[in-house]
Amino acid sequence: MSDSGSGPQRINAIAVFCGSNTGLGELYIEAAKALGDEIGRRGMTLVYGGTHKGLMGLMADAAMAAGGRTHGVITQRLADRGHQHPGLHICEVVGDMRGRKARMALLADAFIALPGGIGTLEEFMEIWTLNQLGEIDKPAGLFDVGGYYQPFLSFIDHMIGQRFLPREHRNGIVVQSDTKSLIDGLQTFQRITVPKWM
């Protein structure tokens, strides 16, 4: 059961969580570029971790090449180590990861997780949790490149089977394997109104 909503959501800025490594092979590289390109072509602002490294840097470069704006949020420690992307429209330097996540959550209208490591997953799960608790109301999605997130979704199904998560909350995120469907899904997302307590 979901709220009927009031039509498409206005999304001007999308925060993307993704790897500071590029992963195995060209698949993830091309996906990061494709997502940056799609965000840029739609005239949206890309909010991300502010580095030039890995999928993050490739995505930002593609967004700018397609005419989009970029807003990086990087920690002081990473900036001091030379990780800051030099070409962004805006890049804020914050004290720590907690500050970085809070700032990105404030700046963005929606969230996407590309493939990445434990940091990517932790950032995405915090946003999903905040939505579940009703502390924010901003759609979130997984870019399921090459089935990357299928094992994670199987674990979510295990949570449901063990009655730690209401079944309806499985639909509390958008999961797509192509950029257009993913962003379209975020724009038409309907908030889950079933309580988290079973």
Q: Write out pLDDT tens, residues 4-26.
A: 344 567 899 999 999 999 999 99
Q: Decide if 27 contacts 13 (C-beta within 8 A).
A: no
Domain spans, the chain: 13-187
CATH class of 13-187: alpha beta
What does the pLDDT read at residue 196?
80
pTM listed for this prediction:
0.93
185 has pLDDT over 50: yes
List phi, psi (to 5°) of 62.
Answer: -65, -40
Q: What is the mean pLDDT of the chain?
A: 94
2 has pLDDT over 60: no
What does the pLDDT read at residue 193?
82
End-to-end CA, the chain: 15
Q: How confident is the model at residue 158 (pLDDT cuts 50, 70, 90)?
A: very high
